[in-house]
């Protein structure tokens, strides 16, 4: 959705991240006002597990967002060494669920949760980043996508997209729950729930086939954690956790 630069805020003497949107993305003043409203919504997401938005601006025909610079490593880098311990999966799962609950409370659906969009700070805190495909429950438009939800535009990262998003249907907080389940599955097993490198087979798996039980891939996974992950990944949103807080409760158990 744009190029991101590391920069220095000379007024407050801190590093920040600046996302510069592609020229022409906000083609008219109406689109810019809409994007500004959505940027203001993101700026209200003040939670320790969410990257903070500081500013929305325009200079020399360029539109940009100024965001918190989050040091550390992306979660997908941690997966290079294989599955994490159950204790670590739960610790990260708690923080992911807490961050999602806060975003959903503000009416924001992320729609692109994946290990590359989750970062671990130097003090081992998980941060949810990149709300560039976010959907606003009370708004008509998607951030950075100049099309209404009703046009059924499919956007996201295929291996982590829930069935309803893949079909171009309207998404809600339960769609983020599915993607969170895909992330937890990968943290616990070291691989994605649907792994085909052929796009048609990958789509068919997400839409029609159950994932392999995590305990088959990692026998150290407890039945409770396995149940929670598979409930997140249910094809039917009605059978998933209905909120991130419900997921958090079961992870606690």
- Outline where DSSP puts E strands in 60-215: 62-68, 73-74, 108-109, 118-120, 126-128, 135-136, 141-142, 145-148
Average pLDDT of the segment spanning 199-215: 96
Q: How confident is the model at residue 186 (pLDDT cuts 50, 70, 90)?
A: very high
73-252 CATH, one of 1.10.510.10, 3.30.565.10, 3.90.1150.10, 1.10.10.60: 1.10.510.10
The count of other CB atoms within 10 Å of the CB of residue 10 is 7
Phi/psi at 185 (nearest 5 deg)? -60, -45
CATH 3.30.200.20 assigned to domain 3-68? The reply is yes
Whole-number Å distance between alpha carbons of 225 and 59: 49
Tell me what pLDDT residue 44 has.
Answer: 81
Tens of pLDDT along 50-70? 998 888 888 887 888 888 999
Tens-place pLDDT, residues 218-239: 999 999 999 999 999 999 999 9
Query: What is the pLDDT at residue 154?
Result: 59
pLDDT at 151: 37
How many CA within 13 A on the CB side of residue 7?
Answer: 17
Which pair of tokens denotes residue 102? 């806060």
DSSP classification of residue 84? P
Q: Give the separation between CA 75 and CA 188, rounded to whole angstroms.
A: 13
Closest by alpha carbon to 253, among 63, 21, 90? 90
| Residue 112 structure tokens | 């692109």
Which pTM value belongs to this model? 0.86
Give 136's strand partners. Answer: 108
Segment 2-21 shows an average pLDDT of 90
| Cβ(70)–Cβ(129) below 8 Å | yes
Q: What pLDDT band is residue 6 in, cutting at 50, 70 and 90?
A: very high
Query: Which of 128, 207, 100 shows the shortest CA–CA distance to 161?
Result: 207
pLDDT at position 141 is 37
Does 76 qualify as catalytic in the annotation? no
What residue segments make up the domains of the chain, in order of their start? 3-68, 73-252
Of the candidates 9, 60, 105, 112, the residue annotated as catalytic is 112
State the average pLDDT for the chain.
87
Give pLDDT, residue 50: 94
Beta pairing, strands 62-68 & 14-20: antiparallel
Q: What is the DSSP string of the chain?
A: --EEEEEEETTTTEEEEEEEPPTTSS-SHHHHHHHHHHHHHHHT---TTBPPEEEEEEETTEEEEEEE---SEEHHHHGGG-PPPHHHHHHHHHHHHHHHHHHHHTTEE-----GGGEEE-TT--EEE---TT-EETTSSEETTEEEEGGG----S-GGG--HHHHTT----HHHHHHHHHHHHHHHHHSS-SS--SSHHHHHHHHHH-PPPPHHHH-TTS-HHHHHHHHHHT-SSGGGS-SSHHHHHHHHH-
């Amino acid at each position: 959705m744009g190029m991101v630069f590391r920069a220095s805020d000379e007024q407050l003497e801190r590093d920040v991240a600046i996302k510069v949107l592609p020229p022409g993305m906000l083609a008219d003043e109406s689109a810019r006002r809409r994007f500004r409203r959505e940027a203001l919504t993101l700026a209200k997401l003040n939670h320790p597990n969410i990257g903070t938005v500081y500013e929305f601006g325009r200079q020399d025909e360029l539109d940009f967002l100024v965001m918190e610079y989050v040091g550390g490593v992306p979660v997908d880098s941690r997966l290079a060494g294989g599955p994490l311990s159950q204790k670590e999966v739960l610790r990260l799962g708690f923080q992911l669920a807490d961050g999602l609950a806060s975003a959903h409370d503000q009416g924001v659906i992320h729609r692109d949760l994946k290990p590359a969009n989750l970062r671990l700070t130097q003090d081992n805190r998980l941060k949810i980043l990149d709300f560039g495909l976010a959907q606003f429950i009370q708004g008509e438009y998607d951030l950075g996508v100049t099309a209404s939800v009703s046009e059924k535009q499919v956007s996201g990262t295929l291996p982590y997209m829930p069935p309803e998003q893949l079909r171009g249907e309207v998404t809600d907080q339960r769609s983020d729950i599915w993607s969170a389940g895909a992330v937890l599955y990968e943290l616990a097993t070291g691989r994605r729930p649907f792994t085909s490198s052929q796009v048609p087979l990958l789509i068919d798996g997400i839409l029609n086939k159950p994932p392999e039980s995590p305990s088959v891939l990692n026998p150290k996974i407890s039945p409770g954690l396995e149940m929670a992950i598979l409930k997140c990944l249910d094809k039917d949103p009605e059978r998933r956790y209905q909120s991130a807080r419900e997921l958090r409760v079961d992870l606690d158990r």
